[in-house]
Amino acid sequence: MKDYLIRAIDKKGNIRVFVATTTNMVEKARKTHNTSATATAALGRALTAATMMGAMMKNPKDKLTLRINGGGPIGTILVVADNHGTVKGYVDYPYADLPSRKDGKLDVGSLVGNQGSITVIMDYGLKEPYVGQANLVSGEIAEDLATYYALSEQQPSAVGLGVLVDRDISVKAAGGYIIQLLPNIAEEDIDIIEKTLSQIEPVSTLIDMGLSPEDIMEKLLGQFEMEVLDKVDIEFRCDCSKERIERVLISLGKEEIKDMIEKDGKGEVVCHFCNTKYNFSKEDLETILSKI
């Protein structure tokens, strides 16, 4: 199934929902970073969440950064998304792993940890980006994100995120949803949604069954008249380039570049997001130095 997300709202304007299938995207991230099974699940959940959150922004140049650090073995999870379906991300320690929980599920909560925070940075191209933050409650990411929306944005939200890892460590199914309740929603409608959420299968199970985002929305909100507003293809893709890396080197300052020339006579920079290596000869570094 092709990866894509849908954005929809009910006819009364009381409920908006984002649903995404991200299996291929998360598998590409797994291959890029060679993550362990549990790290794949953690990074995959964050990538899926950021993809939907990015779709909430209005302009093509807007950027959303999701940073999660709970003090667990995986370190920091950092993901960047835009509003047209492109996302990139990495974790500090991709090989970190833990035994599965007693119920057989991957122990994402313990790998991420819950002694830290979730931070959302939205860059709208203004002087200062918007920064919101909330303490982690479980490290499972979906629950933490719902808490973030409730506390930092005063937006009641239900979040479901899932990554099903196969026996060969590849990604079998991945995706998620975010349901947000708008101000005029009736209590009886809230009760209907809560009852459905308490009974529905995990989102990764639904995707593994072959359900599309539209099918999942029907299972979640079938009792409401939903209208799909957007359908967006999504992918894991880094936008790094040698020119961008040059700007990073310039930002290090003259002394740092001089040190690279004197000690090694060359430089190598690796992009954290995609592991692409950029090599700079002594001549390259001297040219960069002349620009400062």
What's CA 63's distance to the chain center, in Å? 12
Given a cut of 90, is residue 275 above it in pLDDT? yes
Same domain, 206 and 106: yes
* Domain span at 280: 242-290
Per-residue pLDDT reduced to its tens digit, 49-104: 999 999 999 888 899 999 999 999 999 999 999 999 999 999 999 999 999 999 98
Tokens of 200: 């529905």
Name the pLDDT band for 114 (thresholds 50, 70, 90): very high
Same domain, 145 and 194: yes
Q: Identify which of 139, 204, 168 has the alpha carbon closest to the alpha carbon of residue 31.
A: 168
Same domain, 217 and 275: no
Same domain, 106 and 176: yes
DSSP strands (E only) in the chain: 4-10, 15-21, 63-69, 76-81, 86-91, 117-123, 130-135, 157-165, 171-181, 226-233, 235-236, 266-270, 277-281
Per-residue pLDDT reduced to its tens digit, 211-254: 999 999 999 999 999 999 999 999 999 999 988 888 888 887 88
Q: Identify which of 49, 55, 27, 29 has the alpha carbon closest to the alpha carbon of residue 162.
A: 49
Of 236, 251, 279, the position where a domain reaches its end is 236
Same domain, 105 and 213: yes
Query: How many structural domains are present in the chain?
Result: 2
Whole-prediction pTM: 0.93
Per-residue pLDDT reduced to its tens digit, 242-266: 888 888 888 878 888 888 888 888 8
Mean pLDDT for all residues in the chain: 94
Per-residue pLDDT reduced to its tens digit, 32-55: 999 999 999 999 999 999 999 999
Same domain, 139 and 260: no
Same domain, 232 and 105: yes
Of 191, 206, 236, the position where a domain reaches its end is 236
Same domain, 42 and 161: yes
Per-residue pLDDT reduced to its tens digit, 129-162: 999 999 999 999 999 999 999 999 999 999 999 9
Measured over all CA atoms, what is the biggest interatomic distance in the chain, rounded to whole angstroms?
Answer: 71
Which CATH number belongs to the domain containing residue 162 in this structure?
Answer: 3.55.30.10
What's the count of helices (H) and strands (E) in the chain, helices before strands? 10, 13
Same domain, 34 and 125: yes
Of 195, 217, 236, the position where a domain reaches its end is 236
Residue with tokens 């313990």: 110
Residue type, 283: E
CA torsion 186-187-193-198 (nearest 10°) is 180
Residues 6 or more apart whose CB falls under 8 angstroms from that of 225 comprise 10, 11, 12
Given a cut of 90, is residue 286 above it in pLDDT? no
Tokens of 202: 């995990």
Same domain, 222 and 274: no
Name the pLDDT band for 187 (thresholds 50, 70, 90): very high
Same domain, 279 and 136: no
Which CATH number belongs to the domain containing residue 286 in this structure?
Answer: 3.90.1280.10
Same domain, 282 and 200: no
> Stretch 184-210: mean pLDDT, rounded?
95
